[in-house]
Amino acid sequence: MRRTILYFLFLPVLITSCFKEIDTVVQYKTTEEIFTSQRDIYKNVTFFKIYENTTQEVLNKPLGGWDLAFQSAKSGDIVLVNYTVSAKAIKTGRFDFSAVNKSTVNELFNSDEWKFNDPAYSNIKDSVALKDWENKEVYLVNRGSSSVPEEAYYKIQFISKTPETYTFRYAHVESTEVIEKTINRTSSLANVYFSFKENEVVEHEPNINEWEFYFAPYFGWFETLTAGEYSPYNVTGAMINNEGGVRVAQVFDGGIDYKDIDLTMAQSLTYSDWKGGIGSTWKKIPSINNPVYLMDTDKKYVIKLKDGNYYKLRFLDYYLNGKQGYPSFEMLLIN
């Protein structure tokens, strides 16, 4: 009888203990050299890890789940607004937090001074929207396309930082409730993400050692048909985990065939920590007469990982069952 009672006591414990496990088990998409993303790149941020014989999806997140990203594991204090939903920020010229309200939004609504974050350049502080946050000026943040207008505008003011923390205050522009938060840095994440709506830190990216690049839509600088002229545009592409030690070299010479990229060549290339080293231009701009995304076959990439291995990458397609936004790529270990 006692055994039976014990069994029934422990059974629910055993069952519920499985729930957390199931929730957090990564659903790997196994591949060989060729991988076709099963996620719509226009609606998801999908993180990938490269292994010697395969590339695997390790985490997928919808857009708009966070508002501020705080640089965490590596040195630096860059704070980003959500580039996947075209969030923007603007300096208000005010240092009194209470003096910024809905009228300030009306005043600055059509200003040309709203800044966005191109994630490709997010490791260059001068290019980020909140680059001068340490001077304690009050910023307005437009949370971007995942927010309806009345929920879109927040004011933020950074208060202090230590080697381990960021402290800031924020409020909706119509709210009198001012919330002060301290973000604790961690060595396990490249960035710590914060949501105004949730009023807390939210999970967005995997452990810094568990991913090499992600696919996402983002608002960034796009080279127009006039070479050298750039315009802000919504694009889709891949960002590398430069904070986690991933480096990339572009092999854009049409005379070099993908199959000819070998270890000797890989070792001779110059590698960059530029987050947008893969970026979005591996696909060509569709023409009005043939509105289909074709791959730019000249563009190949070599990725160097922290373990010293080199991988060559090329994109093969942008469609899955006729639906646009599902990149296929080939990733090969260079022996």
Contacts with another protein, residue ranges (CB under 8 A): 42-43, 62-64, 85-86, 102, 105-106, 109-110, 116, 144-146, 148-153, 173-174, 219, 232-234, 286-289, 291
Give the nearer residue to another protein in terms of CB position, either 168 or 219. Answer: 219
CB 271 within 8 A of CB 236: no
The Cα–Cα gap between 244 and 289 comes to 42
Give the nearer residue to another protein in terms of CB position, either 268 or 287. Answer: 287
Tokens read off for 269 = 């290339």
Residue keyed to tokens 């396309």 = 145
Give the nearer residue to another protein in terms of CB position, either 114 or 121. Answer: 114
- Work out how close the CB of 155 gets to another protein at its nearest, in angstroms, rounded to a whole number: 11
Give the nearer residue to another protein in terms of CB position, either 11 or 285. Answer: 285
- Work out how close the CB of 147 gets to another protein at its nearest, in angstroms, rounded to a whole number: 8
The Cα–Cα gap between 298 and 245 comes to 26
- Work out how close the CB of 225 gets to another protein at its nearest, in angstroms, rounded to a whole number: 9
Give the nearer residue to another protein in terms of CB position, either 63 or 78. Answer: 63
CB 298 within 8 A of CB 254: yes
- Work out how close the CB of 27 gets to another protein at its nearest, in angstroms, rounded to a whole number: 21
The Cα–Cα gap between 226 and 263 comes to 36
Give the nearer residue to another protein in terms of CB position, either 93 or 232. Answer: 232
β-strand partners of 180: 169
- Work out how close the CB of 162 gets to another protein at its nearest, in angstroms, rounded to a whole number: 33
What's the angle, vertex CA 300, arms to CA 283 and CA 296, rounded to 5? 25
Give the nearer residue to another protein in terms of CB position, either 289 or 321. Answer: 289
Element (H, E) at 17: helix 2-24
Give the nearer residue to another protein in terms of CB position, either 35 or 66. Answer: 66
Listing DSSP states for 250-273 in one string gives EE--TTS-GGG--HHHHHHSPPB-
Least Cα distance to 285 among 226, 216, 213 occurs for 226
Element (H, E) at 11: helix 2-24
Give the nearer residue to another protein in terms of CB position, either 116 or 158. Answer: 116
The Cα–Cα gap between 246 and 120 comes to 14
- Work out how close the CB of 292 gets to another protein at its nearest, in angstroms, rounded to a whole number: 9
The Cα–Cα gap between 58 and 140 comes to 34
Q: How far is CA 14 from CA 2, 19, 20, 21, 23, in A?
A: 18, 9, 11, 11, 15
- Work out how close the CB of 229 gets to another protein at its nearest, in angstroms, rounded to a whole number: 13
Least Cα distance to 33 among 254, 317, 312 occurs for 312
- Work out how close the CB of 173 gets to another protein at its nearest, in angstroms, rounded to a whole number: 6
- Work out how close the CB of 46 gets to another protein at its nearest, in angstroms, rounded to a whole number: 14
CB 100 within 8 A of CB 220: no
